[in-house]
Structure 1
Amino acid sequence: MATLHELVTPDSIRLDVRAADWHDAMRTVGEVLVSAGISDDSYTESMIHNVEEHGPYIVVSPGFAFAHARANDDVHHTGMAWIRLAEPVEFGHESNDPVTLIASLAAMNSSSHIAATQQLATLMADPTKRTALATAATPEQFHAALM
């Protein structure tokens, strides 16, 4: 089982990203997945469609969204991308908006998805880790906080 630290590289992290709205933020995190060779543009569109169809269920804790979709032929290997927004965006979640941090997972299978989800829950419940992610000055520092 890969760890979060192994699923993402500093090249898959963008800090202080500007986004006009949640659609823009989701497109940006999807572009990071695509540029890393993890998935195709169609996977990004699937992530956005999920939120349009099911609502902001991906906003799983205050200020944090976990973007994902069902993998088809548009996921090349399991991996993650992270973006931290310069200004928060609203997804429409009653209690966890606004969002400043988005992790996007493209998983080849459900066991990889479940393992990553469990690790994310542990990470986001740790106030020290949350602070490290919020204050990292570089993608390398952000990546180190995922350990």
Structure 2
Amino acid sequence: MLKQFLPLSHIQLLNSVDDWQQAVRCSAAPLLAEALIEPSYVESIFKTHQEIGPYYVIAPQIAMPHSRPEEGSKAQALSLVVLKQGVNFGSDNDPVQLVLMLAAKDSESHLEMLSAVADLLSDENAVQQIIQSNNVAEIAEIVHRY
């Protein structure tokens, strides 16, 4: 299920980033490159973060930046950045090591994709395996089980 929304080309393994904004930008890069989202989508995430805080840091070590479809999402898609050194988002769940950007073309069609994401992220063992992975192929192998 996740394989169709999170191909190998959407997965990055980075040692570190300078700050949470760079983590979000890195997660957006593959989606922007394929025109699955527009730059306004990323700007909307930053704007909402300024207004209400890191609403998308959903669990310890896990951020899922997203915005509303009308903010510039053109398709259902995911991208994943795995950070060897976590970054602080200003959340109780800091530091974040998994940044999973979610894009949806409307408010309903992404629910099945989100269900598969929930299955993955609720598997603590899989999350730790991803964080400890040493290459993108290893990460994809774990993610694509869901």
- What is the SS of the residue equivalent to 1:67? coil
Q: CA RMSD in A?
A: 1.7
- What is the SS of the residue equivalent to 1:57? coil
CA contact (8 A) 2:38 2:73 kept: yes
What residue in structure 2 maps to residue 123 of structure 1?
Answer: 120
What residue in structure 2 maps to residue 42 of structure 1?
Answer: 40
Measure, in 2, the Cα distance between the counterparts of 1:131 and 1:57.
22
Q: Which amino acid aligns with 1:115?
A: E
Measure, in 2, the Cα distance between the counterparts of 1:129 and 1:19.
23
Seen in structure 2, the aligned counterparts of structure 1 residues 116 and 50 have a Cα distance that, compared at 3 Å, is farther
- What is the SS of the residue equivalent to 2:69? coil
Under a length normalisation based on structure 2, what TM-score does the superposition of the two structures give? 0.88
Instruction: State the aligned residue count.
Output: 144
Q: Which amino acid aligns with 1:47?
A: I
Residue segments in structure 1 that go unaligned for 5+ positions in a row = none
Measure, in 2, the Cα distance between the counterparts of 1:142 and 1:36.
21
Seen in structure 2, the aligned counterparts of structure 1 residues 51 and 115 have a Cα distance that, compared at 3 Å, is farther
What residue in structure 2 maps to residue 97 of structure 1?
Answer: 94
Map 1:41-120; keep pairs closer than 5 Å: 41-72=39-70, 74-94=72-92, 96-120=93-117
What's the % identity of the aligned pairs? Answer: 27
What residue in structure 2 maps to residue 24 of structure 1?
Answer: 22
Superposed displacement of residue 84, structure 1: 0.9
Q: Which amino acid aligns with 1:86?
A: K
Measure, in 2, the Cα distance between the counterparts of 1:113 and 1:35.
21
Residue segments in structure 2 that go unaligned for 5+ positions in a row = none
Measure, in 2, the Cα distance between the counterparts of 1:37 and 1:108.
12
